[in-house]
Structure 1
């Protein structure tokens, strides 16, 4: 991996509508400053409602009369594989864009781009195994067939924490199903999505099949939710954003896919490998500076080992390398922006006011050029504290001890969220039992944050609706149609 540096001037991107790069209807630009350095690194148009409408029209035209939905899955797969190859070739360039806009470490950013290549390749191949069903068991008179058809035009609203990877968990599956798309990336981290448009254009994705409109959610995203020409919207974001999507969809009964917030537990039993568990818990809470919807932010630990384990974990956390996102040695970069940093630190201060104790961290780092927060561990956290209830989205972990297995599960499930959970134990029965009883769409045993494009992901309770990735990832973007076919002369109803 070569040396990476800040650009001399911000990189300029354009929106992509109907197969063309454009600044759209507004003359306003958004400038993104690197949260790790404070320097201006990228610019793109601040899209308006008119741009969203143009993108909807292009996607509608491409679906209703373009070639994409009518192509064989094999033909679509060829194009999607070409996109994947191009992403792979440009992984370092895309990773640098992502690192500068999000504040995440360069090695992690490039790793995510490479992970996204794998997802695109899986979706490309999976396009060919999408199938319907035949029911030959309804008697000799009737044969029934079930068809899967692409749902149509899909709006995709993505967040700022994993702009490229979260899009990769959705867009190639949407395209594999034969749908067309309008993507609205976060207005603060749109660069890698706009760069992807160049690669899709080169790979031969037909005009209008994918359109990207940049701008505010309230302006551009809302148009996608409100439009009756958009058949489905996939939203990744906070539970508040999810509720807005549900309210908007009520007007035109559109389908929604939602991946929302989490307040995810690590359950550590006394019989776990405590060195492995400490490392896994530290990774799960600090990965992406804690700005990870499936990262673990509550440590539910057996009381007999709670004190010793907390100290072991604190020693690990103090050694995490926080710093310049462009340094290949960095493990944790900057928080997303200044307001978010103050919000995260506010949760820590409020916890202390309510009687919690800071075991390690708890403040900004000495480096004031960017928004860096020390990985923070909080003990003596009282049950009602927002630290335990709300999604902090920063490198902050709250410790809650338990005495019995039943109590561990009750604490883990005491949340409006149900996105993920990690279980640490050497006892296979306990591990399997907890896997069944914990309320979460993704469960890890003696590991955390593992994933693969073959397996579906999503949330329970207020963490979301629907599933992404795996074969479910394509099915999500299809409609099911049942046909009954009569094979015999009709018995007349009217004699």
Structure 2
């Protein structure tokens, strides 16, 4: 990174990372490494170790030892809060560095990456308060001879598997809450976007987190990820990814030790626009919701469900918005839509675009790669004349592709929105409070936005209905997710004898 230039550029040589166990970075040594090419530039940017099963065992042992000797869970809330606050401050200090490596490995625009890093610091700062406020309950209504307590205790060692689309953000929507609960962590980031997870591990050690409480083991999902799922000394697993892989996570939990699971899975999320909405705002929100992070977003608003009377107008307005969106070099501050993160995903998106054409949908805009001379980019794509049974209307594409489906009544809009196996997120655009509340109540989604989209912060929980997942992350719910509830009965006075 050229510190003397206002325009960032890829590094001259890829950066070497180790994996992270027991408070220390472990060099790759004789292990094979994964060489990551920047999807926005086509050049190598990082080298990441391909860890072994023995490396994973070492990390789990470190996390287990740290949990069982209570070096973290045994601290009071103030002490845990101080570490999380310090970590948040260090994230802010190193925001430019974190955003740079996030952009290089992922392909998202640098301005977006920088904003996400700021939000991640917020997560740590908010979770620090939860470390102090997490509590149980008491029951003084059991009669004079009994007093009841309900305590929340940390689950134990948490395995954390994170995806490549938001490597740092999704990590930080979980790690501070897991730590606030008193648990220890073994994280497995995607092999294509491991850098910022490893950077965070070092930050946590610098912030005062005891050794062994945050470990990072790098490698493929098929090897290290699967071994983490199956590991008998891991008490809970948090997985973010596709619904198909989520099913395998559930199966693996049953085969091993019935791990507690937290799952954030796929989505085919509706953006419902009524004729009485501020259509300019709605069109801008729809464009943002489908193109943010190049559509590689589990809560992407990939279905525009629009009142028929304004469907053509709104579709044209979205098209005009997208025509002005800047697709370009992810390291350019002006870029709004960056690169497609992996070769496989690039092929998947282009395949769905061809499928949409073959199914008879009308291509309104986009539909082709964008040639910038390097990297892989796809123009934001809108399909009209879409029917609910088409694959592009039902399956998660995970790219900048929007399908337009018209409706005539509120009930029809709700029916179309719920006609999916998913239930992760939804938006509604209307100035009528009755419509907004009706849709918010009846559409099945774990996150909902009214006259906005993809908004939020650390206070409100994240998670899905139906096949979009189990459990909740962030907020007080995100700390409680990583605890177990224990009932304690305390008898007062002398026992009434069972045997006289």
Q: Same fold (TM over 0.5)?
A: yes
Quick one: distance in 2 between partners of 1:444 and 1:342?
A: 31
Check if 1:225 corresponds to 2:252: no
Check if 1:296 corresponds to 2:301: yes
Quick one: distance in 2 between partners of 1:490 and 1:202?
A: 52
Structure 2 match to 1:268: 273
- Preserved CA contact (<8 Å) 1:26 1:47: no
C-alpha distance 2-133 of structure 1, shift in aligned 2 (>3 A): farther
Q: CA deviation at 1:195?
A: 1.2
Structure 1 match to 2:47: 43
Q: CA deviation at 1:25?
A: 7.7
Quick one: distance in 1 between partners of 2:241 and 2:27?
A: 26
Aligned to 1:358, the other structure's residue is in SS state strand
Q: CA deviation at 1:433?
A: 0.8
Structure 1 match to 2:380: 375
What does the per-residue CA deviation read over 1:309-348, in whole Å, with 9 as the maximum and x for residues that have no partner?
1111111111110010010000000001222112101101
Q: CA deviation at 1:8?
A: 0.5
Quick one: distance in 1 between partners of 2:235 and 2:378?
A: 41
Q: CA deviation at 1:26?
A: 5.4
Structure 2 match to 1:154: 158
Q: CA deviation at 1:383?
A: 2.1
Quick one: distance in 2 between partners of 1:27 and 1:494?
A: 66
Quick one: distance in 2 between partners of 1:414 and 1:250?
A: 30
Q: TM-score scaled to structure 1, two decimals?
A: 0.99
Check if 1:287 corresponds to 2:285: no
- Preserved CA contact (<8 Å) 1:53 1:223: no
Structure 1 match to 2:31: 27
- Preserved CA contact (<8 Å) 2:17 2:28: no
What does the per-residue CA deviation read over 1:143-197, in whole Å, with 9 as the maximum and x for residues that have no partner?
1000111110000000000000101010111111111000000000000111112
What does the per-residue CA deviation read over 1:386-437, in whole Å, with 9 as the maximum and x for residues that have no partner?
1011110000000000111101000000000000000000000110111000
Aligned to 1:70, the other structure's residue is in SS state coil
* Alignment RMSD: 1.1
Check if 1:400 corresponds to 2:391: no
- Preserved CA contact (<8 Å) 1:237 1:259: yes
Check if 1:139 corresponds to 2:143: yes
Structure 1 match to 2:420: 415
What does the per-residue CA deviation read over 1:58-79, in whole Å, with 9 as the maximum and x for residues that have no partner?
1001101141110001101111
What does the per-residue CA deviation read over 1:194-226, in whole Å, with 9 as the maximum and x for residues that have no partner?
111221121121111000000011111111111
C-alpha distance 238-422 of structure 1, shift in aligned 2 (>3 A): same
Quick one: distance in 2 between partners of 1:163 and 1:350?
A: 29
Structure 2 match to 1:331: 336
Quick one: distance in 2 between partners of 1:4 and 1:367?
A: 17
- Preserved CA contact (<8 Å) 2:158 2:238: yes
Q: CA deviation at 1:10?
A: 0.4
- Preserved CA contact (<8 Å) 1:317 1:375: yes
Check if 1:254 corresponds to 2:259: yes
Quick one: distance in 2 between partners of 1:303 and 1:48?
A: 56
Check if 1:492 corresponds to 2:493: no
Quick one: distance in 2 between partners of 1:441 and 1:281?
A: 19
Structure 1 match to 2:100: 96
Quick one: distance in 2 between partners of 1:410 and 1:365?
A: 36
C-alpha distance 255-54 of structure 1, shift in aligned 2 (>3 A): same
Q: CA deviation at 1:24?
A: 5.5
Q: Which moved further from structure 2: 431-440 or 333-342?
A: 333-342
Quick one: distance in 1 between partners of 2:373 and 2:68?
A: 53
* Residue correspondences, number: 495
Structure 2 match to 1:10: 14
Quick one: distance in 2 between partners of 1:436 and 1:397?
A: 24
Q: 2:119 aligns with which of 100, 115, 119?
A: 115
Q: CA deviation at 1:228?
A: 1.5
Quick one: distance in 2 between partners of 1:115 and 1:490?
A: 55
Aligned to 1:104, the other structure's residue is in SS state coil
Structure 1 match to 2:467: 462
Quick one: distance in 2 between partners of 1:403 and 1:66?
A: 60
Quick one: distance in 1 between partners of 2:497 and 2:380?
A: 76
Aligned to 2:377, the other structure's residue is in SS state coil
Structure 2 match to 1:480: 485
- Preserved CA contact (<8 Å) 2:388 2:416: no
Quick one: distance in 1 between partners of 2:71 and 2:314?
A: 59
Q: TM-score scaled to structure 2, two decimals?
A: 0.98
Quick one: distance in 2 between partners of 1:53 and 1:493?
A: 49
Quick one: distance in 2 between partners of 1:441 and 1:349?
A: 31
- Preserved CA contact (<8 Å) 2:137 2:150: yes
Quick one: distance in 1 between partners of 2:285 and 2:215?
A: 39
Aligned to 2:302, the other structure's residue is in SS state strand
- Preserved CA contact (<8 Å) 1:26 1:46: no
Quick one: distance in 2 between partners of 1:74 and 1:217?
A: 36
